[in-house]
């Protein structure tokens, strides 16, 4: 008989992904979701990725998790879906690969893949955090927009010989990569909400940086390392940090650790466990402009916290541009919605 979900954890009934999404991630997602028909266009586009073929490939060449195969992982994905109130428990596959990794794939029937390297590296509670992280990606619908990023990256390589075309695409890809990195910060929060074990989440991030010898690492020292990275040296180091992000879809481990630590300490995690969070039923009424302004505010706060000399030099210029972005999204969303209403009236 199947085990019941672990009810020692608080179930977050009808929780909206907006509850845990990083403001920069949430602003982009709310803007895209507000555009009538946009989600459906990209869901159809992601279908070109051939989700069915990928599932068949993993079904043939990996291990499908269930009650008789990797039962502990099966319990963890089922528990994460229960806690985050995901309607369907996603399939989970374990793939032979020594590189620790996990991913959520698909948009019609999203599923999760973890590598043997990750299973071997992490203990049970740390794996619970990673599984919850991937369930968070599914709840947020990130796969749809990640498909867009992958398609644009492939297109950019094909038109690299056309200078202006490549430069334009590269600018879009760079912006999407920045969103992608913020989506990872979002789902670190989702992972903690699913596991409800912040210490295990921190251990997992430390192991992703330094391997299995956790006894040789220290959370306080790792956090100080994150501060050292933020301080950098001079403006040249700030520029090098920006260049190092080119092509990176994941934030560096020390950044993820410090961002998660800050979110835990500011009380957001506990407020959600106490039931103070937005519901999915209210997602359609979320304000695009407000969310984009929240994103701008988040960037301003991070710039004000940062000791990076280059960030200090750019702070005022970037803040003004981000604030203007909120007003721009308000205008675009209103026009899109109004055109949709006119179309419905004429039909």
Per the CB < 8 A criterion, the answer to whether 8 and 309 are in contact is no
Distance from chain centroid for Cα 14 = 19
The residues facing 93 across adjacent strands are: 64, 113
Evaluated on CA atoms 188, 189, 193, 198, the torsion sign reads positive
Number of Cβ within 10 Å of residue 335's Cβ equals 10
CA distance 43 to 55: 17
The residues facing 94 across adjacent strands are: 63, 114
Backbone Cα Rg of the chain: 21
Distance from chain centroid for Cα 51 = 20
Length of the chain: 347
Per the CB < 8 A criterion, the answer to whether 131 and 92 are in contact is yes
Respond yes or no: is residue 134 known to be catalytic.
yes
Distance from chain centroid for Cα 85 = 18
Kindly state the tokens that stand for 338: 């109004």
Contacts of 176 (CB under 8 A, 6+ apart): 145, 148, 149, 152
- The angle at the Cα of 280, spanning 274 to 286, to the nearest 5 degrees, equals 105
CA distance 92 to 88: 12
Catalytic residue among 126, 134, 177, 259: 134
Catalytic residue numbers, as ranges: 134
């Amino acid at each position: 008989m199947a085990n019941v979900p672990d009810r020692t954890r608080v179930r977050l009934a009808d929780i909206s992904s907006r509850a845990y999404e990083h403001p920069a991630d949430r602003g982009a997602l709310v803007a895209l979701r507000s555009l009538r028909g946009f989600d459906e266009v990209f869901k159809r586009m992601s279908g070109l990725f051939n989700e069915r073929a990928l599932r068949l490939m993993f079904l043939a060449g990996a291990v499908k998790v269930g009650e008789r195969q990797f039962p502990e992982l099966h319990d963890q994905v089922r528990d994460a879906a229960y806690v985050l109130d995901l309607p369907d428990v996603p399939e989970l596959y374990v793939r032979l690969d020594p590189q620790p990794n996990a991913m959520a794939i698909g948009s019609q029937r999203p599923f999760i893949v973890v590598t043997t390297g990750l299973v071997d590296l992490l203990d049970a509670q740390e794996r619970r955090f990673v599984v919850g992280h991937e369930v968070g990606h599914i709840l947020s619908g990130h796969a749809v927009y990640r498909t867009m990023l992958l398609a644009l990256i492939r297109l950019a390589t094909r038109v690299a010989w056309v200078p202006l075309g490549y430069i334009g695409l590269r600018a879009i890809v760079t912006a999407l990569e920045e969103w992608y990195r913020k989506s990872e910060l979002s789902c670190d929060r989702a992972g903690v909400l699913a596991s409800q074990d912040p210490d295990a989440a921190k251990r997992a991030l430390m192991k992703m940086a330094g391997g299995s010898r956790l006894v040789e690492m220290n959370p306080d020292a790792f956090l100080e390392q994150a501060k050292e990275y933020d301080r950098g040296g001079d403006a040249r180091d700030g520029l090098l940090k920006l260049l190092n992000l080119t092509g990176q879809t994941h934030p560096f481990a020390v950044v993820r650790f410090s961002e998660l630590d800050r979110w835990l300490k500011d009380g957001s995690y506990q407020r959600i466990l106490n039931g103070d969070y937005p519901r999915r039923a209210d997602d359609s009424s979320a304000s695009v402009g407000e969310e984009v302004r929240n994103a701008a505010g988040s960037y301003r706060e991070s710039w004000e916290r940062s000791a990076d000399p280059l960030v200090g030099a750019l702070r005022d210029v970037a803040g003004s541009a981000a604030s203007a972005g909120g007003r721009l999204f308000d205008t675009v969303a209103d026009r899109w919605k109004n055109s949709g209403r006119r179309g419905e009236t004429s039909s």
